[in-house]
Amino acid sequence: MPPHDVIATPDPTDVHALPTDRPALAPAEPSSKARYRGLIWLVSAAFFMQALDSTIINTAVPAIAGALDVTPLSMRTALTSYVLTLAIFIPMSPWLCDRFGTRRVFGGAILVFALGSLLCGVAQSLPQLVASRIVQGLGGAALMPVGRYVLVRSIDRREFVSSMTTVATFGLLGSVFGPLLGGALVEFTNWRLIFLINVPVGIVGLLLNRREMPDYRLDRAHRFDTLGFLLFAGASALCLMAAETLGGDGAGAGHGLAVAGYALGGVALASLYVRHSRRTEFPVSDLSLLKVRSVWVSLAGNLFTRLGVSGMYLLLVLFLQIGCGWSPLAAGLMMVPQAIGSISVKPFIDRLLTYFGYRRLLLGNTIAVSVVLCSFALLTPDSPPWVIVAFVYVYGAVMSLQYTSMNTLAYVDLDVKYASMASSMASTAQYLSMSFGIALASLLMGGFLGTHNAQGYVWAFRWSVIVLGMITLAASWIFGQLRETRAPKTTETAP
């Protein structure tokens, strides 16, 4: 069992726990959500910008590959390098917040992210683009965990799920409008603009940060776990390099030895980190939080779910543009039904979690996600557009429910003092699994791709989504390990 102070306990000073028959003369204080409305908008804007940049490159992959004289599947490095950088450097965010304060860290993250976007916009080769995406990842690594941490510190527990739903909606809009905007810019202007548009957005974010971001920090921060950070970073990088090398063009004994060497090195460093974290007072990722059932289920479920779904956007774009001959804009427009499906279920997620609880909802919805993924294999180049729209709409609805439920599960049983570490670990697991998910999807696509023509891409797409659906199904067993946990009610009279 976890230490007793890890579990959240009722606060006797909580106004929601007091009798409702207090004197009528006492003015009603505004809710925490109303007091921090500007903060919610700021974090939502940051999530939107980061999600936009994570997906805007998807519809531009064929065009950028042609401009840089590489194959479309080779562009996976530009995708995975960004999300892997996020995963590696996110664990630094709790210490940075304690040392420099949330306002300074969040503002610095926006500045570095905008600089990386500028460098991406002027890149002349794939290695330059990958290096610039790493700079972007350095800035983006603090946006999501710091934003979540500040919301956990500022927003009342009863309003946290609804606040995160608002933030997640904007992140969702960014992930959907990204492919659409990317397709439009590639078709009518130049692919470089898909990165340069982040520069003015970053400037606005810096101005809002000075006014709306609270400055949480410790008077005296503990020493940073440098050794733990290096072990974790090395393990993550080596494991991804193994996946990238496996999906590369090499062959023979030397190629296999390289893959095995990277994989074994990653596992060895990961084992050393586990041992190190148990002997360190302030590890970069506190694995003791995994003793809380809702935390380890949230992280493990996130890992397997995103491993199956993270490469879906790339596969769908390749299927539509190369397999079906669609234009970049038409392929980007196909993401709009996904946004509509996602947004249409957002208002009901809070009530669904309250009624069904996390276990039943995540167990059933994960199975639904797996079925929807596999059903994409039924699509052909002759499928009517409205059929593809229906598939994408349903996929957006089930994934919206999945993401919000998984992302809030990690906090329901934790005391607020563990919020920063839990936010860091949740974001790290999310992006680490995304990087491996993109690499896995590319590996499957390349493995099933017999010929580089339209029919070859259609065939590879069908079998890839089936395998990814089966991997996602494994997450349903993980969520089945939950006890019956329900979301905190948003109001005193919530049903």
pTM beyond 0.75: the answer is: no
The predicted-structure confidence for 94-113, as pLDDT tens digits, reads as follows 788 888 888 889 889 989 99
Q: Rounded to whole angstroms, how far apart are CA atoms 428 and 425?
A: 5
The neighbour count for residue 143, using CB atoms within 10 Å, is 26
Q: Calculate the CA 263 to chain-centre distance.
A: 24
16 pLDDT more than 60? no
Q: Within 13 Å, how many C-alpha atoms sit on residue 462's CB side?
A: 13
DSSP 3-state of 67:
helix
Q: What is the dihedral of CA 352, 486, 368, 321, to 10 degrees?
A: 80
Angle at 232 between CA 226 and CA 238, to 5 degrees: 130
Report pLDDT digits (tens) over 293-352: 878 888 888 888 888 888 888 888 888 888 888 888 888 888 788 878 888 888 888 888
Distance CA 57, CA 420 (A): 30
* CA-CA-CA-CA dihedral for 430, 432, 433, 435, to nearest 10: 120
What are 479-491's pLDDT values in tens digits?
Answer: 888 876 555 443 3
Sequence-distant (≥ 6) Cβ neighbours of residue 332 within 8 angstroms = 59, 179, 180, 181, 182, 183, 184
7 SS3 class: strand
Percentage of the residues of the chain whose pLDDT score is greater than 90: 11
Reported confidence tier of residue 254, pLDDT bands at 50, 70, 90: low
Left, alpha or beta for 69 (phi > 0: left; psi -120 to 50: alpha)?
left
Residue by residue, DSSP assigns 458-478 as: HHHHHHHHHHHHHHHHHHHHH
pLDDT value at 9 more than 50:
no
User: Greatest CA separation found in the chain?
Assistant: 81
- 150-196 pLDDT, tens digit per residue, is 887 777 666 666 777 778 777 777 777 777 788 888 888 888 888 88
Taking CA 403 as the corner, what is the angle to CA 271 and CA 494, rounded to the nearest 5 degrees?
125
